[in-house]
Structure 1
Amino acid sequence: MTPATAESVAEAPSAESLGVPESFADIARRLGDIPPNRIIWLPHVATEDDVLRSASCEPKRLTELVDGLLVEKAMGQREGFLAASLIAFLMAHVRTNRLGVVGAPDTILRLKPGQTRLPNVSFTAWANLPTADAHLQRVGPYAPDLAVEIISEGNTRAELARKRSEYFDAGTKRVWEIDPEARTVTVFTSVTDHTVFGTADVLDGGSVVPGFRLPLAQLFDDPQLNPRA
């Protein structure tokens, strides 16, 4: 494991905040220098209803509500399989110990009014749910205790930094960023403070997911994450 401190990404004032009309390039930059094709244009300010509609119609599109815009989540087949593998390990521990709820990539969470995110995997302790049925609503009105982002080809460093900032501002206690190419998990305890874990290490849930321990070799060597033998 490698402890380190990430560089924060400075945010310049947006054209929107200065009252100046934005170009599509300005908007993409504000969202974290993301590819413009991930921004879904609507003739109105996007809402949670638009997020829900895009997830239920055909073709289904997983989108996040960011600054009044719909942003398609960067995710492919590989990221889906990795999320499924991690969920299987996490669910086995969480359910056995009755710790809380585990979310999949299509779990919509409201970090603040008008801002929703879809972590690839999430965990929230029972005690930290705002109401007894918060996890049964179409949009979860809470930030997760643990948010897991699996880095995809369409993600950018600036986008991931912005997401981390939003998660921690909303009350998230840990963020795991998984890099399938490097076969590493970076555990953030704040927006910048982090430790990098490799396949020789054991991923520990700490105080957020008590008792959870996962040898990363076991995760990354999962048959569904590798070429068929």
Structure 2
Amino acid sequence: MAATTSLTIDDFERLPSEQVENCELVDGELVPMSSCTLKHNSIRDRFIMRVGPYVFERHLGTIVAEQEYDFGGNVHGPDISFFGSAKLPLADPDKRVQRFVPDLAIEIVSANDTVTALWRKKERYRACGTSEVWIVLPESREVSIYAEGGDRILRGTAELSTDLIAGFKISVDELFQGL
């Protein structure tokens, strides 16, 4: 039986797109990710359409969907991520995997996600320097926020906001409106 070789981020980037599409690199192995549903995509796009212009007009940084980053030798592409203007010089527009971590990572829970996998991902994000991680739970219509100032769960009319994007607010209800 042949020994398997752990992949590096450079190996990951050299693989054909069709081989790594919907995959992350975790501990040297390709891990398939579940496909996104209309509900998942609607939540992601609604948030980006609301916050994107706010970030752009104020030159606060970049907000992007499914950008892959180097989290301690692992490759993850949060559903939504934000990095402030201080990190713009680190961004390489020609690289698939950015060699820094975002300031804010948002994951929208999909049907095939496990609590253990989400918890590990959240812990990895934070350990590698991501300031805040938001986990959006469509079925219970709530958002769990993990940050240095304390963890919290928001629902209903509670407003999502972060000092990373000063002044921006959106209610949890608005995020899930019509779904």
**Aligned match for 2:28, one of 68, 84, 87:** 68
SS for the counterpart of 1:208 is helix
Deviation at 1:80, TM superposition (A): 2.1
Deviation at 1:133, TM superposition (A): 5.1
Structure 1 pair 188–109 and aligned structure 2 pair: CA distance change class (3 A): same
Tell me how large the CA RMSD over aligned residues is: 2.2
Structure 1 pair 122–172 and aligned structure 2 pair: CA distance change class (3 A): same
Structure 1 pair 135–82 and aligned structure 2 pair: CA distance change class (3 A): farther
**Aligned match for 2:161, one of 193, 199, 204:** 204
How many residue pairs match? The answer is 174
Give 2:98's aligned residue: 140
SS for the counterpart of 1:98 is coil
Question: 1:33-72 alignment to 2 at 5 Å?
Answer: 44-48=5-9, 49-50=11-12, 53=15, 56-57=17-18, 61-72=21-32
Provide the rounded CA distance (Å) in 1 between the counterparts of 2:126 and 2:139: 26
Deviation at 1:43, TM superposition (A): 5.1
Q: Which runs of 5+ in 1 are unaligned?
A: 1-41
Give 1:219's aligned residue: 175
Provide the rounded CA distance (Å) in 2 between the counterparts of 1:98 and 1:72: 35
Whichever of the two has the greater Rg, that structure is: 1
1:184-223 deviation line (CA, Å, top 9, x unaligned): 1111115xx4111112211112x211111112222211x4
Which amino acid in the other structure matches residue 212 of structure 1? Answer: F
Deviation at 1:90, TM superposition (A): 1.6
- TM-score scaled by length of structure 1: 0.69
**Aligned match for 2:86, one of 123, 127, 146:** 127
SS for the counterpart of 2:105 is strand
Matched, 1:116 2:38: no
SS for the counterpart of 1:153 is coil
Moved over 6 A (4+): none
Q: Is the 8 A contact 1:121 1:149 kept in 2?
A: yes
Deviation at 1:81, TM superposition (A): 2.3
Deviation at 1:87, TM superposition (A): 1.1
Name the structure with the higher strand share.
Answer: 2
**Larger RCO (alpha carbons 8 Å, 6+ apart):** 1
Matched, 1:194 2:151: yes
Provide the rounded CA distance (Å) in 2 between the counterparts of 1:69 and 1:171: 22
Structure 1 pair 53–80 and aligned structure 2 pair: CA distance change class (3 A): farther
Q: Which runs of 5+ in 2 are unaligned?
A: none
Provide the rounded CA distance (Å) in 2 between the counterparts of 1:81 and 1:181: 14
Structure 1 pair 52–90 and aligned structure 2 pair: CA distance change class (3 A): farther
- TM-score scaled by length of structure 2: 0.87
Provide the rounded CA distance (Å) in 2 between the counterparts of 1:199 and 1:127: 33
